[in-house]
Structure 1
Amino acid sequence: MLWPLFSGEPLPIDLQVSWPVMIGAGLLVGFGTRLGSGCTSGHGVCGLGRLSPRSLVATLTFLAAAFLTTYVIRHLAGG
């Protein structure tokens, strides 16, 4: 985000949502990370690499929630 300030080039990202939505999403991600005792990549890469049962359950939960959310948005909500 600081690159355009120093280079004079426009930001190469086209944001499709408003700043309040992005801030809310960031807060939800932070809350989920705290609630899940780690982030998705931490559980998926490091935790599974250590054969942690807790990380396996967390990773499967993350994936199931992602699949369900995608299905609902694309097929049931008409998105």
Structure 2
Amino acid sequence: MMLPGFPEAAPLEGLGGGILIGLAAALMLLGAGRIAGVSGITARATGISDSGMSKSSAWMFLLGLPLGAAIVALASGGLEARFASPAVLVIAGLFVGIGTRLGSGCTSGHGVCGVSRLSQRSIVATLTFMAAGIATVAIMNAAGLEVLR
């Protein structure tokens, strides 16, 4: 399926991925009674936070993220990945980490789990994430650093 203006879009694959993310979040909430917010799980794994799941479970969850991506890459014949320089990735990661602490959660915690529970705080946070993303792309495009082609 091809969307006008988005020749590389994969809406069916996106739908399938969204269903899997929602299923995983629901299983985590129903099975373990925990929100599947990656920043909170990372804080628990690294010892920044003492609440939530056990430290070993947090590490298993985090290790499963790249492992799952690797399995998909192997099963589909490989994925093309382009990364910024290691310095840019570290700086961006620090900004994301600071932002998740200031916002009391990340996009997975607020956007997937919080919005589905109709949390007002999560709805506001998700709208803020979206607005910041849209503004960033607009500013980068205006500066000649084309993000969307």
Range of TM-score over shorter length: 0.7 to 0.9
Number of the residue aligned with 2:144: 78
Give the Cα–Cα distance (whole angstroms) in 2 for the partners of residues 13 and 57 of structure 1.
32
* Residue 34 in structure 1 maps to residue 93 in structure 2: no
**Deviation, structure 1 residue 13:** 3.6
Give the Cα–Cα distance (whole angstroms) in 2 for the partners of residues 51 and 14 of structure 1.
36
Q: TM-score, normalised by structure 2?
A: 0.42
Q: Structure 1 counterpart of 2:143, which letter?
A: A
**Deviation, structure 1 residue 14:** 3.7
Number of the residue aligned with 2:122: 55
Give the 3 Å change call, closer, same or farther, for CA 34–71 of structure 1 in structure 2.
same
Q: Structure 1 counterpart of 2:107, which letter?
A: T
The number of aligned residues is 68
Number of the residue aligned with 1:19: 86
Q: TM-score, normalised by structure 1?
A: 0.76
**Deviation, structure 1 residue 66:** 0.4
User: Higher relative contact order by CA 8 Å / sep ≥ 6: 1 or 2?
Assistant: 2
Give the Cα–Cα distance (whole angstroms) in 1 for the partners of residues 82 and 108 of structure 2.
25
Number of the residue aligned with 2:35: none
Report % sequence identity: 57
Deviations 1:23-46 (A, max 9, x none): 111111111111110001210111
- Please report the RMSD computed on the Cα atoms of aligned residues, expressed in angstroms: 1.7
Deviations 1:34-61 (A, max 9, x none): 1110001210111011110000000000
Number of the residue aligned with 1:69: 136
Structure 2 unaligned residues grouped into runs of 5+: 1-65, 71-79
List 4+ stretches of structure 1 deviating above 2 A.
12-15
